[in-house]
């Protein structure tokens, strides 16, 4: 893409680790000493790249702040990302001699297993000459970098996310960090464990006591959001599709939800747009590789006629050229 000057900022900024995802589909973990054959295979960017690619394909000018090695896998992933329209990769640092993170995913429509290798690097820093950013996505599992507060003071909406806690502690410190973000988007399993509730709606309401907008995804069961400022609870369904690979669906949801926030749509339409985008992403392999474009959304709605008014999709930036 043709990059605009860095001091002009971006609509969306995504940070975090990028993985080279090696995906084998239609296969379970083999028994020790056994060999199994997959039905399909792909190599695709993963991790933070899932979110960045999904946002860029949704029409948002997107910056990606991350690091990759100069190894063959990292070089391939960088080349793939540089080919995405709307995705600015100038903050994607090349680290000589570093092995880029790699994940092997064995996936079926119902379950996934992963093997990951990662060499940790230092914290990411935003350049001083970065201009205005409308919204940024950051992880809240650990302390937030100091630059996040600086962006927030300058008017950036801070969207927080969190992954599965493999320690099983589900520390209350994560909830304490919600005071540093404006929107929090976990899935229902994460939300219920952190809030010690047994229902996604109850979890969303508990989270909304700490953050202005809590959005809890429920996979095929839809999405619930609680806007604490407006005292409003919104639930939307998830369009039903044939699942091929659920990897990255949550990333696609949060990225397209953020992109929809740039369009002036109301909360229900933003949720429906993101839910539709996430649904279509699971019909192919990999999160970034299967992130939909506006034409994909329009074609699905035209073909399947899901319940509701989808006319807001006609106001997507690229649709005029379709």
| pLDDT tens track for 235-286 | 999 999 998 888 889 999 999 999 999 998 999 999 999 999 999 999 999 8
Structure confidence at residue 320 (pLDDT): 36
> Whole-model pTM?
0.92
For residue 321, pLDDT over 50 is answered with no
> Which position has the higher pLDDT, 315 or 41?
41
Mean pLDDT of 85-99: 94
Mean pLDDT of 45-62: 96
Structure confidence at residue 319 (pLDDT): 41
> Over pLDDT 90: what percentage of the chain?
76
Mean pLDDT of 219-224: 94
**Burial bucket for residue 305 (CB in 10 Å: 0-12, 13-18, 19+):** exposed
Structure confidence at residue 202 (pLDDT): 97
CA distances to 66, 69, 95, 98, 101 from 119, rounded to whole Å, are 14, 10, 12, 8, 7
Mean pLDDT of 179-200: 96
DSSP state of 271: H
What's the pLDDT band for 38 if we cut at 50, 70, 90? very high
Contact 100, 69 (CB under 8 A): yes
Mean pLDDT of all residues belonging to the chain: 91
Contact 98, 88 (CB under 8 A): no
- B/e letters for 187-223, b = 16+ CB within 10 Å, e = fewer, are bbebbbbbbebeebbbbbbbbbebbbbbbbbbbeebb
Strand 102-107 relative to strand 18-25: parallel, antiparallel, unpaired? parallel
Structure confidence at residue 166 (pLDDT): 84
């Amino acid at each position: 893409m043709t990059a605009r000057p860095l001091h002009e900022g971006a609509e969306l900024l995504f940070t975090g680790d990028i993985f080279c995802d090696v995906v084998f589909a239609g296969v379970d973990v083999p028994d020790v000493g056994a060999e199994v054959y997959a039905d399909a295979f792909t190599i695709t960017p993963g991790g933070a790249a899932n979110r960045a690619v999904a946002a860029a394909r949704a029409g948002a000018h997107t910056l990606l702040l991350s690091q990759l090695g100069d190894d063959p896998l990292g070089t391939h992933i960088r080349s793939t990302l540089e080919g995405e329209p709307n995705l600015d990769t100038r903050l994607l640092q090349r680290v000589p001699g570093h092995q880029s993170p790699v994940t092997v995913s064995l996936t079926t429509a119902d379950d996934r297993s992963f093997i990951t290798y990662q060499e940790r690097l230092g914290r990411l820093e935003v350049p001083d000459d970065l201009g205005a950013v409308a919204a940024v996505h950051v992880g809240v599992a650990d302390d937030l970098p100091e630059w996040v507060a600086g962006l927030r003071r300058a008017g950036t909406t801070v969207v927080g996310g969190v992954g599965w806690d493999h320690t099983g502690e589900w520390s209350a410190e994560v909830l304490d960090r919600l005071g540093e973000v404006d929107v929090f988007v976990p899935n229902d399993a994460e939300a219920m464990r952190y809030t010690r509730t047994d229902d996604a709606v109850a979890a969303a309401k508990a989270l909304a006591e700490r953050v202005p907008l809590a959005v809890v995804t429920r996979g095929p069961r839809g999405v619930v959001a609680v806007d604490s400022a407006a005292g409003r609870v919104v639930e939307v369904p998830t369009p039903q599709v044939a699942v091929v690979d659920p990897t990255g669906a949550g990333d696609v949801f949060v990225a397209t939800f953020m992109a929809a926030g740039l369009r002036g749509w109301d909360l229900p339409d933003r949720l429906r747009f993101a839910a539709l985008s996430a649904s279509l992403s699971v019909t192919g392999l990999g999160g970034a590789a299967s992130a939909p474009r506006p034409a994909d959304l329009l074609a699905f709605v035209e073909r399947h006629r899901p319940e509701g008014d989808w006319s807001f999709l006609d106001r997507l930036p690229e649709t005029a050229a379709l």
